[in-house]
Structure 1
Amino acid sequence: MATKGEETRQFIIEKAAPIFNTKGIAATAMSDIMEATKLSKGSLYVHFENKEVLACAAVDYNMKVLGDKLLVKISKFKTAKDQLFAYIDFFSNAVNPPLKGGCPLLNFGTEADDTNPVVKEKINKGIQLNQQLLENTIKKGIDKGEFKPQWNAAEFAIMVFAMMEGAHLMSRMSGNNDNMNIITNVLKKMIEENSL
């Protein structure tokens, strides 16, 4: 059982996470968190030493929620090919993304690359986990005879991640999914070309 303090801390993180993901770390004020939680500044500081500590917890929370949702989606499929398609489909609607504010890897990564080494490292680990998931899925498909044995799993994993994140940014900026639709179609075609 969680203590009252642990419950309050979790409540603050859950309320703060979408705010940080939407506004960014620098633009989010503790007053934004106070408004969302209906807690006093003193209550917030009982649970979090400062905004940076809360921001780091919010980054972790956003990535965990996103990762959990992704794994639920992928686990519904048995074949490696269907799992790759599910990964692509999960991220395919940048205008209405799985998390409020868009992709936390892109949002926090862009903000933290030169300003916040702690968040930068968290995002780098998140990127590596995504690439590893894709690479492992392809290798599993090769082992089961779904994909061509010469398909470079590591290379394609990097390509999927980079192309999806780039398309996510472009689609968020344009306000429509046209760019994302092109990228998802290209990636699915490449998966088909490497399928047996």
Structure 2
Amino acid sequence: MSKGEATRQFIIEKSAPLFNTKGMAATAMSDIMEATKLSKGTLYVHFDNKDILVACAVDYNMEQLSNKLRAKLDQHKTATGKLYSYLDFFVDPNKPIIIGGCPMLNFGSEADDTNELIRKKVNGQIVKSQKLLSDIIKEGIEKGEFKPDWNYEDFATMMFAMVEGGVLISRVAGNNNKMKIINENLKKMIAAQSL
């Protein structure tokens, strides 16, 4: 990695938590300057404008979340273990895995009506997340772990939506009481499909 690439990556890594915590619109270039200890001129050498930096920060935040989740899931051999691990990974949104909380929820909420590029990035991550769950269940069916008639694609969509909804409820309430209910009930639904 060249010095320029390293500086660019440093700026992304320092700004990503700010955008995820304060929001895209509320994070000013002066906030980025303070976090990086770099001049405005240096920032603009690496990013033509704030929107480009935001897009990179969104990608970075979502990649960090995906990598941490994948590492957790890879600890399990069974589909049930992976699905339960997925649920447990998100069980306490008030102790966020990524600084500022779930980037899909944060950036998706802010960008849905205001930033088409970020909306598309978040939607792409949502589709990938649902496919991840769907693929885990499909593999479990193929290995004889789950009932063969389980509509796994519908369940993956529902599970993802319930977890993301639980993240929102928990963050707003300041506790994970409702997420625990979601977690327990989804585990019961998964267990009901086991052979």
Query: 1:92, 1:58 → 2: CA distance?
Result: 25
1:14 aligns with 2:22: no
1:58-99 Cα deviation digits (max 9, x unpaired): 000000000000000000000000000111111111110111
- Regions of 4+ moved over 3 Å: none
**Match of residue 190 from structure 1:** 189
User: By how many angstroms is 1:164 displaced?
Assistant: 0.5
Q: Once the two structures are aligned, what percentage of the paired residues are identical? A: 61
**Match of residue 47 from structure 2:** 48
Give matches, 1:23-102, under 5 Å.
Answer: 23-102=22-101
Query: 1:186, 1:101 → 2: CA distance?
Result: 27
Query: 1:34, 1:156 → 2: CA distance?
Result: 44
**Match of residue 112 from structure 1:** 111
> Aligned Cα RMSD in Å?
0.5
**Match of residue 165 from structure 1:** 164
User: By how many angstroms is 1:170 displaced?
Assistant: 0.5
1:4-48 Cα deviation digits (max 9, x unpaired): 000000000000000000011000000110000000000000000
User: By how many angstroms is 1:123 displaced?
Assistant: 0.3
Aligned residue pairs total 195
> Which amino acid counterpart does residue 18 of structure 2 have in structure 1?
I
> Which amino acid counterpart does residue 125 of structure 1 have in structure 2?
G
**Match of residue 136 from structure 1:** 135
Query: 2:94, 2:193 → 1: CA distance?
Result: 29
Q: TM-score, normalised by structure 2?
A: 0.99
1:4 aligns with 2:3: yes
> Which amino acid counterpart does residue 187 of structure 1 have in structure 2?
L
Unmatched segments (≥5 aa) in structure 1:
none
User: By how many angstroms is 1:147 displaced?
Assistant: 0.4
SS in structure 2 at match of 1:134: helix
Query: 1:171, 1:70 → 2: CA distance?
Result: 19
Unmatched segments (≥5 aa) in structure 2:
none
